[in-house]
Amino acid sequence: MSKRELLDLLLENARYSTADLARMTDLDEDEVVATVEALESEGVIKGYQAVVDWNKVAEERVRASVELNVTLDRETSYGDIAERLAKFPQVTTLRLVSGDYDFEMEVEGESMQEVSKFISDKVAPVPEITQTVTHYVMDTYKDRGLQMSDGDDDDRLSVSP
């Protein structure tokens, strides 16, 4: 059994019980616990999160995808800028990317005003940042591999040959 197999199962559903994981991988429960603990302590597993369809929650939740361009100097690297930005709790995802811009940043807030204010007050003033382009998320159809629609009713015959 590979660590990869356990990781695949946890990616599929991090709430599988230890007993279920053991049954599916033909391992002892003790081995599952030990392997998952090792993966956690090695930092391979960074954490466990729910994938939420915010459309079904009454509270407003605003997400934006922000393109950032930066200029570097002798003292400042991409890593330095990323470290500074990643510390903001509003930033949920931050990646250095190739192409027309340097960083791709996802930001969450309670309202458009809050997100806008965060970009203008906290992000844009960072000296190395030369440009920000903010795209508000209008709807989410798929997130981390999970589709948000409910079109997966099982309409097979209940008993078939």
Give least dist CB 53 to another protein, A. 17
The string over 5-44, giving b where at least 16 C-beta atoms fall within 10 Å of a residue's C-beta and e elsewhere, is: ebeebbeeeeebeeeebbeebebeeebbeebbeeeeeeee
The verdict on 25 binding another protein (CB under 8 A) reads: yes
The enclosing H or E element of 90 equals none
Q: Interface mask (CB under 8 A) for another protein, residues 75-114, using x and -? A: ----------------------------------------
The enclosing H or E element of 124 equals none
Give least dist CB 122 to another protein, A. 41
One-letter amino acid for residue 83 of the chain: E
Specify the stretch interacting with another protein by CB under 8 A; choose among 66-74, 117-125, 141-149, 152-160. Answer: 152-160
| Nearer to another protein (CB atom), residue 17 or residue 120 | 17
* Size of residue set near another protein by CB under 8 A: 17
Contact 33, 39 (CB under 8 A): no
The verdict on 67 binding another protein (CB under 8 A) reads: no
Contact 116, 135 (CB under 8 A): no
Point out which residues bind another protein (CB under 8 A).
Answer: 8-9, 13, 16, 20, 22-26, 154, 156-161
